Amino acid sequence: MELRKYHPRDCAEMARLFYDTVHTVNAADYTKEQLDAWADGQVDLEKWNASFLEHDTLVAVEGETIVGFGDMDSTGYLDRLYVHKDHQKKGIATAICDRLERSHRKRAAFRTETDGNARQEERERAELTFTTHASITARPFFEKRGYVVKKEQQVERRAKREAESRAACPGILLTNFVMERTEDLELILLTKEKENELKACAQILMESFEHAWNTEKEAEETLRETLESGVLIAVRREKKTAGFVGAHPEYPFGWELHPLAVAPAHGEWGWEACLSPASKGRRSGPERWSCILVRMMRTA
């Protein structure tokens, strides 16, 4: 299975997948009348194509066949997520969501915070919100991903052929759920005084390169040596250290990127997704170092 960007030529096949999936996978939770109103086989391909191009849209393919697709807008709203009826339970929906969420992190708006004396910039923080309107069928999938139900709602749908006779045909109500997940992200400029963070980073270093350091003390010493001449920036997700990156001058006109490690649980998360927002513009403090490190990581 391969994930790739959407192309307009995919739209018609995606519309067919949408219809087939709704009328099979969702049939256990909705009546035939509701399914017909939800997917009547008359998708406006021009509107769909326009929205797919406006959003971050991914297509999952196996060979020449589209087996799933999903799209997310710039606010983190997951608009559509459908997997082929014959390719359920293969991790396709998870792969699509992981990639879309990872891409959205690149647009995180970090803000600088200080240590209270308003002199030393210590960290940059961003809060991301992912939302979706999940069907009864999809609700368990999103709950496993950490989404919570904000409200249950009744959405009115009607087949396209009935749209012009709105007064005479009241439309069909479908139940879905407004679901949301938030992520708190931090970039922290480490110092020798931040003992707990250094220990957490040393543990990650040992887990990532288990044969390079015999003890946590040795790994922590490596980090302290980096701080002697360079910089270390840790990434925290939901108050837990997810990884770190360091740089120190090694050459007349450059910096060496070392060390860099990511906690196993965040291996597919994407370092550049967290650091890249800080690369916009010339700034001071942690943001300035982030700018340097991002450029290094993108060429590593």
Same domain? For 175 and 213 the reply is no
- pTM, to two decimals: 0.74
pLDDT single digits (tens) 210-228: 788 888 899 999 999 888 8
Q: Give the range of the structural domain holding residue 99, as residue numbers without chain letter.
A: 2-108+127-182
Q: What count of other Cβ atoms lies within 10 Å of the Cβ of residue 47?
A: 9
Tokens of 157: 């749908």
Given a cut of 70, whether residue 202 has pLDDT beyond it is yes
Rg (CA), the chain: 24
CB-side exposure of 16: number of CA atoms within 13 Å? 7
Same domain? For 87 and 210 the reply is no
Mean pLDDT of 187-208: 89
Same domain? For 178 and 196 the reply is no
pLDDT of residue 235: 84
Same domain? For 166 and 286 the reply is no
Residue 119 lies in a domain: no
Three-state secondary structure call for residue 4: strand
Domain end among 182, 199, 227: 182
Residue 116 lies in a domain: no
Instruction: Tell me the percentage of the chain whose pLDDT exceeds 90.
Output: 51
Given a cut of 90, whether residue 296 has pLDDT beyond it is no
pLDDT of residue 184: 85
> Residue 154 is which amino acid?
Q
Same domain? For 50 and 166 the reply is yes
The total domain count for the chain is: 2
Residue 117 lies in a domain: no
Q: Which CATH number goes with the domain that contains 267?
A: 3.40.630.30
Given a cut of 80, whether residue 123 has pLDDT beyond it is no
Handedness of CA 186, 189, 194, 198 (dihedral sign): positive
List, in sequence order, every beta strand (DSSP E) within the chain: 2-5, 56-62, 65-72, 77-83, 111-114, 121-135, 148-157, 172-189, 231-237, 240-251, 254-262
